[in-house]
Amino acid sequence: MIGVALAIVRKEKASWWTLLPIGLSQFLVVLSGLFHGQFTATEWVLLPFLALQLGLSIFIAVRCRKSHVAAILLGWFSFSYALYAALIAAMAFADSWI
């Protein structure tokens, strides 16, 4: 929330790039719901997904030159959101819930 508020106050349009990782996280969860219980090994999906998310978070932090604090906070949120989405997707793909 702090990162979004700083991005709005500073009118930093590049900070809105953080919507892309969040959208990708949602897509992974939807995809895992569609393929519910059909995979036992999920590393082939989750590791590249997390690498992409980390790369996007770093790209966002570097791209936003005016407000690094907002970009870092939004990148941190989007990556932690991606970790949670990967956990849900891993459980859904393998159909083994905690």
By the 8 A CB rule, do 14 and 63 touch? yes
Residue at token pair 């770093």: 58
Place of tokens 């990556």: 79
pLDDT in tens, the chain (98 residues): 666 667 667 776 665 666 788 889 999 999 988 988 787 777 888 899 999 999 988 887 787 777 778 778 878 888 899 999 999 998 888 888 77
Q: Where are the alpha helices (DSSP H) in the chain?
A: 2-10, 19-34, 43-63, 68-94
Taking the C-alpha atoms of residue 21 and residue 70, their distance in angstroms, rounded to an integer, is: 15
Q: Are 78 and 55 in contact (CB under 8 A)?
A: no
Q: What is the pTM of this model?
A: 0.76
The domain segmentation of the chain, as residue ranges, is 2-94
CB 85 within 8 A of CB 26: yes
